[in-house]
Amino acid sequence: MIEYLPRSKNLSELYLTQFGVENCIPGHFFGPAVRDYFLLHYIMDGEGIFEVGGKRYHLGKGQGFLICPNVITYYQADTDKPWSYCWVGFHGSLAEWLLKQAGLTMASPIFIYERDDILHQYMQSMAEAKANPKAQEVRLTGLLYLMLSLIEESGPAAPPSERESQAEVYVEKVTDFIEMNYAQKITIEDIAHFIGLNRSYLGSLFKQRMNTSIQEYLVRYRINKACEMMRNAELSIGDISRSVGYSDPLLFSKVFKKLKGISPKHYRAEVHPQPQAADL
């Protein structure tokens, strides 16, 4: 069974091109050939070989292999125990990154998933999705995300890129956390708990890399966001204060003046003169 899909006009980050299931006859093969999309095969039973980049892999039940775009590959079912597999073809701007998160690249194309038969069940759900054409595209993409997440969970942890040290990874996690949660009443303890490091140790790493403390970075980020919001005349100073994590407008004004040298009200009047909403 194979299901071909039209090119997605909406889901450019990740979209399916085809999917299917096949019970191969002994010796069934494909290639050597290239594809212009990513193709994941998952072996449900039997055995076979997969060749890419001058390497041959002998694979069986619970294993799978990745075919990358524009790479010559060859695969063949065993003559005694031919494999049965399911597959998904997909592409999109996030496809390569998602595969790398799961530890899959052209140089490392094999994965193992032996926990259960959920990957196969997701394939069956894909086949059933055509019963509702209105939601098919979104449902299929959601199932693909779920499949990739299972492969990532069951595989080895993806190593940091060569340009990143572990300290850089931690610092990036701190800045990402602040950017996503600055509007909440977050503390340095919350950040350290999220990352899983001792607060003092994390603070030391951050200061070495960023030349400022986490608290100072958080405050400056909030105030800079507040400055951006000043352009919106519909927002009062109180609205802006609460939107950047300060429930007390007076405290917000005090911190703002300390960093910018003038009060929020005067900053708005001098830098972005415009009709203003009530301040509180």
- Residues shown for the chain: 280
- Beta-carbon contacts of 52 under 8 Å, excluding residues fewer than 6 positions away, are 65, 67, 71, 72, 73, 74, 106, 109
Taking only the tens of pLDDT, the chain with its 280 residues reads 555 455 666 678 888 888 888 999 999 999 899 998 999 999 999 999 999 999 999 999 999 999 999 999 999 999 999 999 999 999 988 999 999 988 899 999 999 998 888 888 888 888 888 777 777 888 888 999 999 999 988 876 555 554 457 888 899 999 999 999 999 989 999 999 998 889 999 999 999 999 999 999 999 999 999 999 998 888 899 999 999 999 999 999 999 999 999 999 999 887 666 554 555 4
pTM higher than the cut 0.75? no
> Positive or negative CA dihedral for 178, 183, 184, 187?
positive
Cα-flanking dihedrals φ and ψ of residue 223, to 5°? -70, -40
What's the pLDDT score for residue 154?
83
What's the pLDDT score for residue 163?
43
Give the span between the Cα atoms of 9 and 35, in whole angstroms. Answer: 20
Cis previous bond, 275, omega within 30: no
What's the pLDDT score for residue 45?
94
Catalogue all structural domains in the chain, each as residue range(s) with its CATH number: 2-154 (2.60.120.280), 166-271 (1.10.10.60)
Q: Give the amino acid at 130.
A: K
| Closest of 166, 170, 154, 76 to residue 115, by C-alpha | 154
Give the span between the Cα atoms of 109 and 120, in whole angstroms. Answer: 19
What's the pLDDT score for residue 176?
92
**Do the bridges between strand 29-33 and strand 47-52 make them parallel or antiparallel, or are there none, so unpaired?**
unpaired
